[in-house]
Amino acid sequence: MSYNIIKTMKNSTTGEPIVVLLLDGLSEVLEIESLNEALATAKLFNCNSDSGWLYEVRSGGKIYKTNITRG
């Protein structure tokens, strides 16, 4: 089973959420084989997000939340 990372942003005009899948270096949807690696990556992205975007892990229609710690 592979895992994807989704990024949730807000439209600056309407305030509506915009959800996108992260891509790899070849412009294909990023697939991570390990749940632990995917969660660690999403957590790192959340810690480093200065825009307030939210990163979560997705697989098989299920969303895995990360413990969000922002500096």
The pLDDT tens digits for 2-54 are 999 999 999 989 999 999 999 999 999 999 999 999 999 999 999 998 888 99
- Residue 71, pLDDT > 60, answer no
Instruction: Provide the residue range defining the domain that includes 46.
Output: 4-64
69, part of any domain = no
Give the full edge-to-edge strand order of the sheet including 4-10.
17-21, 4-10, 54-59, 62-64
Residue 69: pLDDT band by 50, 70, 90 thresholds? low
16, part of any domain = yes
The predicted structure's pLDDT at residue 63: 94
Question: pTM of the entire structure?
Answer: 0.85
- Look up residue 22 and give its two tokens: 């992260």
70, part of any domain = no
How many domains in the chain?
1
In order of 7, 16, 50, the CA distances from 42 in angstroms are 9, 22, 14
The predicted structure's pLDDT at residue 68: 62
